[in-house]
Amino acid sequence: MGQGQSGESGKHVSTEQLSHELARKFAKRCFTPLELYSFQDVFRGLSEQQDGLAYLKEDTIARFLEIPDILGASSIIFQMVSYLGAFPFGQDAPVVLGFEQMIMVVVIMTERYQRVLKKGHRDRTKLLFRSLAVFDRESKAKDTTDESQDNTNESPEPQTTRSHAPGFAVDEAANDEEDEDDDDLALAALESLDVIEVFRHGDAPIAQASIPSDNLKKLIMLLLLIAPLSSQESLAQHTGRLTGENLEGLRKTADNILAAFVNVEKFPGVKIHQFNTVIPISLPFLFSGFNPLFEHFLFSKNIDFTKRKDGSTAPPPPGDEVPPPLLRQKGEILDLNVLSQLSFFMPGDTLFHRLRLLYSGGEAGFSLGSFETRVFNWRAPTILLVAGNRISDPPSGGQERAFSDTLRPKRFPDSGKSDHVTFGVYVSQPWHQTHKGCFGNSETVLFQLEPVHEVFHASTMNTDYVSFTKPPSARSGIAFGCPHPKAKQTSGLSSLANLGPVSLMLDSSFEFGVFTHNYTSGGGAFHNSETRRSDFQDRFEIESLEVWGCGGDAEAEEQKKRWDWEEREAEARRKVNLGSGDIDADRALLEMAGLIGGNRSGGSMN
């Protein structure tokens, strides 16, 4: 252990030699000459010296990255980087963060390793899990037993702490043996050095590892804060989100995301199979904020980038103007925390600085008409958000009973204990009224934000993505994942709403909504949950409903032109004053408004 062979020389080399060679290769291939020079300057300015060794301390890294103390995440970040600095030899972690170790950290945290290690592209998640996890070396026998048991709370062994939460499959024991082998990313690194005899990880088996839930929540809060960071942007500019109601909202959003991984009331930590299940589907961009944050090490403030070789000063770079706010207007549902939450599964460059509030039920009125007027003219993707409070079963009020009477008797339990729910849909195509079939495509995404964060991606086997129906349809309203309603009202059970297996439906008055997850049916227009493998249904009274337009100034200008055109048409109609006695003048006005003339008939003027 600790030695291998080089394919060319056949000489034994140490892990220190291989780490040195990999750091040299990373520095040469992953950094530009200017970035490497800046990195060297930053490291010199931050490092401490002891016995001739330069290294970085925890508080130094936290201060340089401007990690707020109130989050309590500094020690978690230091734990991560102390592990990543040992790459690809995890058994040596934690390590002293010297110059070469910090090269490893920055390359991995900014994903620049992909310029060298093509084969390790998908393995960063496992590496980050190891960097966050703690290992229970006494639980090997217990975890082996857990692989084949549903509930270990009944085990007489005093060390057993795991239990089974019915219907929440991500909490169930899973087969982690496939993760016992060396990480692909580490193997790719060793292969790039032409090492024939591959070093094995000295870590405890990954099945014995878990991330403490409290640590993951603190990290999620930091990730929410850094999600909108751009390159070289200071994190201190976003500290306004850490006071008062904003901080409480940050904690609440982090709780919703943490619930995607684990039921914190039953389990103390997050296992690797939960990470591997949740992140690719519901949180693919969770760690994207690390990229700009750790790029700070590649930009030295001591270097004047405006000076030229001839001694002249270059003009300031374009784009120094103040960018538009991250969110132009705060909604009843969407704020900066929820916006960051959305960026964990939608590309941030389509969200930050670009969303525009098109429709808010609280401002424009809860009606199909006001929704149509404000949303249909937007020619780019939109995000619909709806929040409300779960209604009782059986319903207590008259309106609740009337809504429930439009649905089949409730067979599924509620999704959880929380009464407040928030759902949303990303719609990539422009909205329009549907008469016979649904619109949308495979890019349509149905998701839940509260109390459990989860994303339901579109299926290609069923295309009942979005419907917008008005009378005389049997079931007017907006639906996602439901079969298109029939044109005419019928009697009996066929007159009830036809809910899809995984669907969200809002009634025509926008008073009530229902989200259905019929796991046993096998899915419909949207895929089943990979973590909650059970049937559930949430019927709720709508509290807030809003639609946000994705796009920039061009989309907004196009919408404004359409609104202005409709306003001019409406004004022209209002100004037509018939019955004045001057038939010729009245006809001329109608022709100017486009109401008669050509192939149109205006009827009799008498």
Q: What is the mean pLDDT of residues 160-177?
A: 43
Sheet holding 269-270, edge to edge: 134-135, 209-212, 269-270
* Spatial distance between the Cα atoms of 494 and 499, rounded to a whole number of angstroms: 12
Least confident of 17-26, 300-309, 587-596: 587-596
Least confident of 161-170, 186-195, 371-380, 568-577: 161-170
Quickly state the pLDDT bin for 558 (edges 50, 70, 90): low
Secondary structure element (H or E) that encloses residue 397, with its range: none
pLDDT of residue 189: 86
The residue among 332, 361, 379, 422 whose CA lies nearest residue 561 is 379
Q: What percent of the chain has pLDDT over 70?
A: 74
pLDDT of residue 160: 35
Q: What is the mean pLDDT of residues 188-217?
A: 78
pLDDT of residue 562: 63
pLDDT of residue 15: 87
Q: Is the pLDDT of residue 311 over 80?
A: no
* Spatial distance between the Cα atoms of 109 and 124, rounded to a whole number of angstroms: 9
- For residues 474 and 425, the model is more confident at 425
DSSP-based three-state secondary structure for 251:
helix
Least confident of 200-204, 372-376, 442-446, 568-572: 200-204
pLDDT of residue 568: 64
Q: Is the pLDDT of residue 246 over 80?
A: yes
Neighbours of 469 (CB within 10 A): 22
- For residues 11 and 326, the model is more confident at 326
Q: What is the mean pLDDT of the chain?
A: 83
pLDDT of residue 322: 66
Contact 482, 497 (CB under 8 A): yes
* Spatial distance between the Cα atoms of 139 and 112, rounded to a whole number of angstroms: 36
Q: Is the pLDDT of residue 403 over 50?
A: yes
pTM equals 0.83
Contact 445, 281 (CB under 8 A): no
- For residues 511 and 206, the model is more confident at 511
Q: What is the mean pLDDT of residues 266-295?
A: 95
Q: Is the pLDDT of residue 138 over 60?
A: no
Start-to-end C-alpha separation, the chain: 103
Quickly state the pLDDT bin for 393 (edges 50, 70, 90): confident
Amino acid at residue number 324: P
Secondary structure element (H or E) that encloses residue 527, with its range: none
| CB-based contacts of 125, cutoff 8 Å, min separation 6 | 275, 276, 279, 280, 287
Contact 445, 471 (CB under 8 A): no
406-483-546 Cα angle (round to 5): 75
| CB-based contacts of 103, cutoff 8 Å, min separation 6 | 23, 26, 27, 39
Q: Is the pLDDT of residue 261 over 90?
A: yes
The residue among 211, 218, 186, 209 whose CA lies nearest residue 199 is 186
79, 183, 378, 379, 567 from 94: Cα distances, Å: 8, 17, 52, 52, 66
Q: Is the pLDDT of residue 177 over 50?
A: no
Least confident of 9-18, 56-65, 121-130, 582-591: 582-591
Tens digits of residue pLDDT in 26-51: 999 999 999 999 999 999 999 999 99
* Spatial distance between the Cα atoms of 239 and 66, rounded to a whole number of angstroms: 10
pLDDT of residue 298: 96
Q: What is the mean pLDDT of residues 447-466?
A: 96
- Secondary structure letter of residue 460 according to DSSP: S
pLDDT of residue 164: 31
In this structure, the strands spanning 420-427 and 445-450 are antiparallel
Q: What is the mean pLDDT of residues 8-24?
A: 78
To 10 degrees, what angle do helices 74-84 and 213-226 make? 90
Secondary structure element (H or E) that encloses residue 471, with its range: none
pLDDT of residue 165: 35
pLDDT of residue 58: 97
DSSP-based three-state secondary structure for 535:
coil
* Spatial distance between the Cα atoms of 561 and 555, rounded to a whole number of angstroms: 10
- Tokens encoding 511: 């008073």
Q: What is the mean pLDDT of residues 112-124?
A: 79
Q: Facing residues of 542 across strands?
A: 388
Cis peptide before 413 (omega within 30 of 0): no
Contact 448, 461 (CB under 8 A): no
Domain borders along the chain are 7-137+172-298, 336-553, 576-606
Residue with tokens 């079939």: 437
Contact 514, 370 (CB under 8 A): no
Q: Is the pLDDT of residue 185 over 70?
A: yes
Length of the chain: 606
- For residues 103 and 124, the model is more confident at 103
Contact 207, 273 (CB under 8 A): no
Residue with tokens 């795991």: 162
